[in-house]
A and B are shown apart, each in its own frame.
Chain A
């Protein structure tokens, strides 16, 4: 009985340690990741300039409020993502050095904005 109890306790401790090990990196990464949000309406980014901290991964939520699809794209961020009409998408970007990064809607090339990383 006591052997079974000890084994169950050991197994519970191992599971707890394993869970902690698996969750810790994810939680740490999540804590480091900054988040910004931007909308597209009337084929204009709102706001046209967004800000984010340097040297932290970034999640950009793009809300497409137009009735046509858009493609969020950036050469310097090295990302592209199609966002359907009336929906939103998340673009994950690596940690960035300070600077200005252009982005645009590849389906409507005149729709442009800037990410300022400080």
Chain B
């Protein structure tokens, strides 16, 4: 277990100020709104889509979802890497949801120790997700879903090197409604084992575990803002063989149901605490990035 070195720099203070402003704004807005204007929301994307809610969609629903995750900043140099998954999502019944789609990656890396300079993009494999409703929302308004996501990548997510990478992103996604149709709370548990074979030779396994919690407040009908907290631990080996580092990410989230068939879910998070095994500096910038962002659009058809 590592001891966090909480950064007390400008980004952390900005986050605290943003959280305080959000709480004040939401409290004021809540008083001003007519409660009958607020209706039920599907919770899957209302937490910014680093943390997911338990909803598995509506039976018969089909949608296309460009889902982009970007990572920025390493210990030094210039680092930006992103991946967009073009998901086709379908809910065949009231308990199961399926997503499948190709991924595209892009890299802008310069003078980062341990990584080759790179400015490139390309098709980077395929990802699928199978979500099963485990606990139905009853009178307690608590619900939970199991999500299993097999992945294949031909480019390393961090460096852009040519690889054969297989992963299995597994999550428990739980949520509850604290105030009917207004305030939602989510918890996620995360485990992803990966195995990678490098084209230049050699192969290795790694695994990441984590937990998150997020709050989302429907501030206007169809618009929710919130805050998301993630704690992640990275290991060499598929079975937690050797601890390499951990990180705590915190940031704001936004969900906007733009139209009946279109929604946007976005989040930005900064690593505010962390530790890299064998390194005295704050944060784990070897296994994780300094900041990360998510942008998901859904077009239902």
Q: Which residues of A contact B (CB under 8 A)?
A: 73-81, 93-94, 97-99, 102, 104, 106-107, 109, 112
B35 within 8 A of A: no
A-B contact pairs, 25 of them (CB 8 A): A74-B58, A75-B39, A75-B40, A75-B42, A75-B55, A76-B40, A76-B137, A77-B94, A78-B55, A78-B57, A78-B59, A79-B58, A79-B59, A79-B60, A79-B94, A80-B61, A94-B94, A97-B138, A98-B139, A99-B138, A104-B39, A106-B261, A107-B260, A109-B260, A112-B39
Within 8 Å CB of B260, what residues of A? 106-107, 109
A105 to chain B, nearest CB (A): 10
Within 8 Å CB of B59, what residues of A? 78-80
Within 8 Å CB of A112, what residues of B? 39
A78 CB contact (under 8 Å) in B41, B58, B138, B261:
B58
Cα of A75 to Cα of B54 in the assembled complex, Å: 12
Are B39 and A102 touching (Cβ within 8 A)? Answer: yes
B residues 37-74 touching A (CB-CB < 8 Å) = 39-42, 55-61
Cα of A49 to Cα of B61 in the assembled complex, Å: 25
Within 8 Å CB of B91, what residues of A? 78
Within 8 Å CB of A98, what residues of B? 139
Cα of A73 to Cα of B59 in the assembled complex, Å: 10
Nearest residue (CB) in A for B59 is A79
B residues 14-50 touching A (CB-CB < 8 Å) = 39-42
Nearest residue (CB) in B for A81 is B60
Q: How many residues of B contact A (CB 8 A)?
A: 19
**Contact digits for B129-140, partner A, Cβ 8 Å, 1 yes 0 no:** 000000011110
Interface of A is mostly: strand
Q: 6 new A-B pairs (CB below 8 Å) besides A78-B55, A97-B136, A102-B39?
A: A75-B39, A79-B58, A97-B139, A98-B139, A99-B139, A106-B261
Within 8 Å CB of A93, what residues of B? 94
B36 to chain A, nearest CB (A): 10
The verdict on A102 contacting B40 (CB below 8 Å), with A78-B57, A79-B59 known, is yes
Cα of A78 to Cα of B58 in the assembled complex, Å: 4
Cα of A36 to Cα of B146 in the assembled complex, Å: 32
B58 CB contact (under 8 Å) in A75, A97, A102:
A75
A58 to chain B, nearest CB (A): 12
Most B-side CB within 10 Å, residue of A74, A78, A93: A78
A75 CB contact (under 8 Å) in B41, B138, B139:
B41
A90 to chain B, nearest CB (A): 13
Are B139 and A80 touching (Cβ within 8 A)? Answer: no
Cα of A109 to Cα of B221 in the assembled complex, Å: 12
Within 8 Å CB of A94, what residues of B? 94
B40 to chain A, nearest CB (A): 4
A71 to chain B, nearest CB (A): 8
Cα of A106 to Cα of B300 in the assembled complex, Å: 12
Nearest residue (CB) in A for B56 is A78
Cα of A112 to Cα of B221 in the assembled complex, Å: 15
Cα of A66 to Cα of B40 in the assembled complex, Å: 25
Nearest residue (CB) in B for A79 is B59
A111 to chain B, nearest CB (A): 12
B62 to chain A, nearest CB (A): 10
**Contact digits for B234-260, partner A, Cβ 8 Å, 1 yes 0 no:** 000000000000000000000000001
